[in-house]
Amino acid sequence: MSSTTLTFVGVRSQALAFENQTLKLLTSYSSFAQSPTAHPTQKELALEKEIANLLKQRDATVENLNNFEKFENLVPSRSQQLQRHNEVLQENYRDFNNIKLSIKQERERINLLISVRSDIEAHKRRNNDTSSNQFLNDENDYINNERERADNANSIADRLLAQAYETRSEFQRQRSVLSGVNKKMFSVLSTIPGINVLLGKINTRRKRDAIIIASLISVCIILIWLTS
């Protein structure tokens, strides 16, 4: 067996080992698409980096296999093997990119749900705060209204008391005025000669007239009683 054959077989063996390793890593990496987290973990980032580096190594390995086809006449079976290695490499690139895209989309969906949930909770908190503030405002308004009613009632009572005191003062003033007038009248009458005698005669005549009227009324009542 020639050295060229051994070299091709060795490079192809390395390519097969890389393919198996890539398949295992992609299987592990796909689990992050099934249950992604809101943010990438260190394990996810490390695995993603490892797969990317492995694919680059496979690029170099497949390139080495392609060089054998360029510079040597390979048998058809080996040409088919080389073509298959190229196809598997491209498939693994597509799988890797699809898994990355799925993880990204799922993570965006999760973050969107978290954001919506946070907005809903924030809205509820604002509503609760608003309700509490509204309750406090209503309570304060009620207290202020009651205080205003009490102040108005006190004001009305004060006005009524002031009017009562004013009325009483007016009565006292009028009584004082009338008392002063009476005193002045008696004082004036006492200065007129013979006025007291005249007033005495008027009072005597008034009493006499009252007695006469009372007597007439009594006689009329007796006559009515006798004739009935």
Is 110 within a domain? Answer: yes
Is 158 within a domain? Answer: no
Using 50, 70 and 90 to split pLDDT, how confident is the model at 134?
low
- Does residue 114 carry a pLDDT above 70? yes
- Does residue 194 carry a pLDDT above 70? no
11, two tokens: 């490079």
The answer to whether the pTM exceeds 0.85 is: no
State how many domains the chain has. Answer: 1
Mean pLDDT along residues 44-58: 94
Is 89 within a domain? Answer: yes
* 212-217 contacts, C-beta under 8 A, 24 or more apart: none
Instruction: Map tokens 């006190």 to a residue.
Output: 154
Is 206 within a domain? Answer: no
Is 113 within a domain? Answer: yes
Q: Which of 15-24, 141-150, 197-206 has the lowest mean pLDDT?
A: 197-206
CB contact at 8 A, 111 and 81: no
Side chain identity at 2, as an amino acid letter?
S
pLDDT mean across residues, the chain:
80
20, two tokens: 């198996």
Q: How far apart are the first and last CA of the chain?
A: 179
Q: How far apart are CA 76 and CA 88, in angstroms?
A: 18
pLDDT of residue 3: 42
Mean pLDDT along residues 20-46: 91
Side chain identity at 9, as an amino acid letter?
V
- Does residue 218 carry a pLDDT above 70? yes
Is 107 within a domain? Answer: yes
Is 169 within a domain? Answer: no
- Does residue 1 carry a pLDDT above 50? no
pLDDT of residue 2: 43
Instruction: Map tokens 């009017």 to a residue.
Output: 163
32: closest CA among 109, 114, 106? 106
Domain containing residue 83:
3-120
Q: Which of 19-23, 38-42, 128-132, 187-191 has the lowest mean pLDDT?
A: 187-191
15: closest CA among 70, 58, 77, 71? 58
Q: How far apart are CA 113 and CA 116, in angstroms?
A: 5
Provide the percentage of residues in the chain whose pLDDT is more than 70.
Answer: 71
Is 217 within a domain? Answer: no
57: closest CA among 86, 9, 8, 18? 18
